[in-house]
Structure 1
Amino acid sequence: MNRKLIVLELNEVPDRVIEAFVEQNPYSNWAALTNRSARFIAATPDTIQLHPKLSWQTFHRGVPDVKHGYKEYNQIDAPGKGVYPPVWELLQKAGKTIGIGASIGSTPPPESKQNLKFYIADPFAPTNETTPDYLSYFQKINTMAVQHSGRNVRSGGFSKSDALHLLINLPRLGITPTTCFKTVKQLVSERLNPTRIIRRRNVQALMTFDVVFQQIKNTKPDFCTVFANHVAASMHRYWAARFPDDYESNNMPQEWRDTYAGEIDTAMQEADYMLGKLFRFARSNPEYSIMVVASMGQAAIEHEVVKNQLIIKDFDAFMSMLGMKNYKKLTGMEPEYVVEFSDSAGLEAFKEACERLKILGKSPYLKPMNDTQTAFLVEHTNIELDSVSMGNREVPLAETGLSVEPIQDMSGSTAQHIPGGCCFVFNGFSSLAGHGEPNKENNSIAVTSAIMTALGVTPPDYMEPPVPGIVKAISEQPDRTEGNPVGGLANA
């Protein structure tokens, strides 16, 4: 039986968070599956920046950031683009069928549609192109949700037409009654308790999973991915509430800790739902193995209470202040913004205008991606601001498109990126624990080459040698004589 693989890309989740959740939830899917999985640590080798916009490219392309050259979301070109294609394209060219479920760095789509069963771009994609086409109804909502879930979660952004198209297509998109119920429950909950609006990120992750999982069930590709970011978002903000003793000095007030102590575990509960669905699928389709992997992890950092933050509330007004025309705003992660110009002269003019702009004495920090695109930051927190300087003139804040917004949860980042993230493999029947090395860090590139090897495709010479235990875990034929596992999966 040829093995197939589903990769759940659970962004930035380290073993520390998994073990803490399992300790509190011993009958969860997490507990049952991690007990019987082959467990590893996947550590990114990146040196330019520890960030998922680089580390997922590293994992997918099988080379570190200094070789592939991708540094930003929405970056469609880089020095290593043609030299180091993503793993799904290598598998596709080798004759394997593939599916791509919102993986970071999956823009643009594969040039060839041969062996492509489905494609949903990452939520930062500049277009809503999908395969099959009707998935674009969801992708449009998904990218809008990212733009409305930056430092604060905001309501709105969707037209009635967008919402109607989504509702009409719910059945074939695969968004389940369970997720619909949780969505309604979330909306009611945040009306009763406004702090709960932050949990909309969890609902977005569930919808994405449902849509991708429907495609997996319908098409059964040899290799596919599904990306989820909701746990990472909670960890960044609420680590100091869930793990208050990780700090020499925890600067967050006790009331804040009490309010947000359950947010990481709530996000993990939704991931628990995903694991249960994947396990049941693997039992019904024994040719499949499941890998759960993070391209890096998180850990506690020094932090402060963040009462407000400067954002660009009206992008067109901001660009007008700078004298810019012929541009397109691309999706970014606030307070980082991404803009594309029609030609290189437009980008050069933008650079010059930003040099003249001073916000509390500082200009925006630019990170050019190519000749026409750049990311830029206007990062200021805990400030009072009435105006900015544009050359020799003062511009009132109300005319700049900028806004000093109160932060809903008073948190900046109480955790940040570390190289090592979770990695474990399971199937629907066998215990694979004997193949694992749970305390050993493995180069995430060696995880990528292990995936290819286990699926019968020789990795390129530029990749690291595969992790033997991962190859064995994915390759192992399930022992169907083993009974149901104990714990959360016993009744799955």
Structure 2
Amino acid sequence: MTNKATPATGHRQIVLELNELCPSLLDRLIGEDLLPHFAALRSESEVWVTRPDVDDDTLLEPWIQWYSVHTGLPFDEHRVFHLTDGARAGHRDVFRMLLDAGRSVIDFGSMNVAPFADPDGVFIADPWSEDGRSHPGAFDVYARFVSENVREYSNAGRAMSAADYLRFLGFMVSHGLSVETVRAILAQLASEKLRESRLSWKRVMLLDRLNFDVFRAAWKKRKPDFATFFSNSVAHVQHSYWRHMDPAAFAVKPGPGEMALYRHAVRDAYVAMDRLVGGFRALAARHDATLIFATALSQQPFLRYEDKGGQNFYRLHDVDAFLREAGIAYREASPTMTHQYMLECGDAAGARAARKRLEQYTDCEGRQVFGFPAIESAPGALYFGCQISRPVDEDEQIRDGGRNRAVDFASLFYRIDALKSGRHHPDGCLWIANGNPRVHERRASILDILPTQLALAGIAVPEGLAGKPLLEHAAG
């Protein structure tokens, strides 16, 4: 393979898209000497706290905010509201701008990005994408394995086959699997077997290790001009276990058993991410790349349902079996985030019919079981999910009004084993390791990130974008 030469006027960039890490928690844990690699990265970086491109809390979602980061467009212009809408929206993003300028690119799981095929690059879709095709196609084995585990991690009835694991292992052995990662996997499995099965929550951090091994191998082989690496592990842990880190903020207190298991979950997730940052710092130093760390947004305690026992999430045991039994016509059903699914129904009439049928399911209080987003997706697509958030009794029934019958709730749904504890916060992190350490008091917009990346690459920033290159501002 012939690599495209990095232009003399540009800089190689590795962008760590570490979703929803919190500026305040980073400061605290760095102060406690728990994050040496984050501390070192900050000491060599220009540092900003970022603000989002929206004021409406309902739009403060990572699949919206990351799309704004990648395109430089605010939501009011791009109107991408759903997790899977980015692939079909058609806006030029940072990846296409760089490709059009002759640069080589790796996109390793960035959220809500449309696929591309660069002969010298790599594209791996985010795990929630309904179109998981990768480039080169050899990465499909990896991407599909990761996607299945991310989407169905809570569903014991959706175990992957031995053949799936063997294909995945074969891919990993030939794509960078490290001895350190193998040791970590074996230690994790032993802790679940010998100590406590619920320690399986830590597997999310093993996924980061696997992702880093594959990314590092791809980077060394291709030495691209620009690469992104997305991780959702800390965001996931914060959503689930913030109340265990800070029980005083919540009315629903975890019991002693939960506290023993999850008290340090958020801290441990940051420590694991710190180890990953150390690997990226070493990789960037060896290949003379500028390391950029961004979070798009962050989190804070989620207290809205505390007076009702906290917000529970319920998922279908088998979405395909349920839809068939309900008589709903569809082409494909894809799990997205937490309790939500996306149906491809073929056309708008099919989506309307599917919604009408789902609306016929009501709970014991007469409320609809399934909820739908305020903004529709593309014609023919339907997002839906169980909107019951209260605790549900084991023998509770729901009503199927379409067939005038009662159905056991537990026969259709299972509860995800964690109350929602974290919600989104508008503050984000942006650190650019350019060797000119400085903490900026003025907040940057997430819309400034794309122009800054283009400027670092020596590429003219398109006219009409709201954001501006931050390093030019800093120099001024």
TM-score surpassing 0.5?
yes
Listed one character per residue, the Cα deviations across residues 329-367 of structure 1 (whole Å, up to 9, x for unaligned) are 113112111111133332121021122222342222223
* Aligned residue among 158, 162, 175 for 2:177: 175
Task: Tell me which of 18, 22, 25 is aligned to 2:26.
Answer: 18
By how many angstroms is 1:200 displaced?
1.4
Q: Deviations over 1:387-431 (max 9, x none)?
A: 323236123227x962243x43xx42222101111111225xx3x
Query: What is the one-letter code of the residue matched to 2:215?
Result: V
TM-score by length of 1: 0.86
Question: Which residue of the other structure, out of 368, 382, 386, is the alignment partner of 2:397?
Answer: 386
Whether 2:270 is the aligned partner of 1:262: answer: no
Residue 198 of structure 1: SS of its match in structure 2? helix
1-structure distance, mates of 2:347, 2:179:
47
Report deviation, 1:209.
Answer: 2.4
Alignment partner of 2:383 out of 362, 375, 381:
375
Q: Please, which moves more after superposition, 293-302 or 34-43?
A: 34-43
Q: Which residue of 2 aligns with 1:362?
A: 367
Q: Find the partner of 1:310 among 314, 318, 337.
A: 314
The 8 Å contact of residues 293 and 429 in structure 2, kept in 1 or not, is answered as yes
Q: Distance in 1 between matches of 2:172 and 2:102?
A: 32
Deviations 1:213-258 (A, max 9, x none): 221121111111000000011111222222345x2x5432352344
Alpha-carbon contact 1:8-1:293 (below 8 Å) kept:
yes
Q: Which residue of 2 aligns with 1:484?
A: none
RMSD: 2.4
Task: Give the distance between the partners of 2:422 and 2:268, measured in 1 at CA.
Answer: 17
Distance 1:114 1:45 in 2: 30
Asked if 2 retains the 8 angstrom alpha-carbon contact of 1:44 and 1:59, the reply is: no
Note the alpha carbon deviations across 1:246-293, whole angstroms, 9 max, x for none: x2x54323523443121112111221122111111122122x100010
Structure 1 residues 288-327: aligned runs within 5 Å? 288-302=289-303, 304=306, 305-306=309-310, 309-327=313-331
Task: Give the aligned residue type for 2:115.
Answer: P
Cα distance in 2 for partners of 1:135, 1:319 equals 31
**C-alpha spacing 1:105/1:259, structure 2 compared with 1 (3 Å):** same
**1:217 alignment counterpart:** 220
- Range that drifts further, 365-374 or 93-102: 365-374
2:198 to 187, 195, 200: 195
Q: Does 1:123 align with 2:133?
A: no
* Residues in 2 aligned to 1:116 and 1:373: alpha-carbon distance in whole angstroms: 34
**Aligned equivalents of 1:207, 1:470: Cα separation in 2:** 36
Map 1:153-172 onto structure 2 (within 5 A). 154=156, 157-172=159-174
- How many Å separate the matches in 2 of 1:233 and 1:102? 16
Residue 38 of structure 2 aligns to a residue whose secondary structure is helix
Contact 1:300-1:415 at 8 Å conserved across structures: yes
Q: 1:309 Cα shift?
A: 4.2
Select which of 49, 60, 64 maps to 1:41: 49
Is there any run of 5+ residues in structure 1 with no aligned partner, and where? Answer: 474-492
Aligned to 2:408: 397
Q: Deviation string for 1:142-167 (max 9, x for gaps)?
A: 11011222xx4748521221111111
Alpha-carbon distance in 2 for matches of 1:433, 1:163: 44
Distance 2:144 2:437 in 1: 40
* Aligned-partner Cα distance in 1 for 2:472–2:36: 24
Match of 2:4 in 1: none
Which stretch shows the higher mean deviation, 89-98 or 389-398?
Answer: 389-398
* Displacement of 1:115: 5.7
Match of 1:93 in 2: 100
Query: What SS class does the counterpart of residue 130 from structure 1 fall into?
Result: coil
Q: Which amino acid aligns with 2:392?
A: I
**1:451 matched to 2:460:** no
Alignment of 1:414-433 (within 5 A): 414-426=421-433, 430=435, 432-433=436-437
Cα deviation for residue 472 of structure 1 reads 6.5
After superposition, what is the alpha-carbon deviation per residue over 1:427-464, rounded to whole angstroms, capped at 9, x for unaligned? 5xx3x213x41x43211001221111121112222322
For the residue of structure 1 that corresponds to 2:424, the secondary structure is strand
Verify: 1:58 aligned to 2:58, yes or no.
Answer: no
Contact 1:100 1:226 in 2 (8 A): yes
Is 1:235 aligned with 2:238? Answer: yes
Q: How far apart in 2 are the matches of 1:155 and 1:178?
A: 30
**Shift of residue 13 of structure 1?**
0.8
**C-alpha distance in structure 2 between counterparts of 1:468 and 1:60, whole Å:** 15
- Residue 132 of structure 1: aligned partner: 136
Question: Shift in Å at residue 316 of structure 1?
Answer: 2.1
One-letter amino acid of the counterpart of residue 444, structure 1: I
CA contact (8 A) 2:363 2:397 kept: no
Mapped partners of 1:53, 1:414: distance in 2: 20
- CA gap 1:186/1:153 in 2 versus in 1, 3 angstroms: farther
Q: How far apart are the structure 1 equivalents of 2:157 and 2:183?
A: 19
In the superposition, relative to structure 1, how do residues 314 and 190 fare at CA in structure 2: closer, same or farther (>3 Å)? same
Alignment check: 8 A CA contact 2:18 2:295 kept: yes
Runs of at least 5 residues in structure 2 that lack an aligned partner in the other structure: 1-7
Q: Equivalences for 1:467-486 in 2 at 5 Å?
A: 467-469=469-471
Residue 342 of structure 2: which of 338, 344, 347 is its match?
A: 338
Task: Name the stretch that deviates more: 189-198 or 154-163.
Answer: 154-163
Deviates more, 1:341-350 or 1:253-262: 253-262
**Deviation of 1:24 (Å):** 2.5
2:198 maps to amino acid: T
Q: Distance in 2 between matches of 1:58 and 1:212?
A: 24
Residue 216 of structure 2 aligns with an amino acid whose one-letter code is F
- Is the counterpart of residue 28 in structure 1 residue 36 in structure 2? yes
CA–CA separation in structure 1 for the residues paired with 2:350 and 2:35: 57
CA contact (8 A) 1:13 1:231 kept: yes
* Residue in 2 that maps onto 1:109: 115
Aligned residues: 453
Could you tell me how far 1:189 is from its partner in structure 2? 1.3
| Secondary structure of residue in 2 paired with 1:22 | helix
Instruction: Give the partner amino acid of 1:68.
Output: H
Distance across 2 between alignment mates of 1:203 and 1:311:
24
Q: Deviations over 1:155-188 (max 9, x none)?
A: 8521221111111222322222211221121111
Q: Sort the Cα spacing of 1:470 and 1:231 in 2 relative to 1 into closer, same or farther, 3 A.
A: farther
The answer as to whether partners of 1:74 and 1:331 remain within 8 angstroms in 2 is: no
Quote the Cα distance in structure 2 between the aligned partners of 1:89 and 1:307: 40
- Mapped partners of 2:298, 2:442: distance in 1: 14
TM-score (norm 2): 0.88
Aligned equivalents of 1:116, 1:41: Cα separation in 2:
34
Supply the AA of the counterpart residue of 1:109.
P
Tell whether the 8 Å contact from 1:6 to 1:291 is kept in structure 2 after alignment: yes
Deviations 1:44-72 (A, max 9, x none): 11235111111111111111112111111
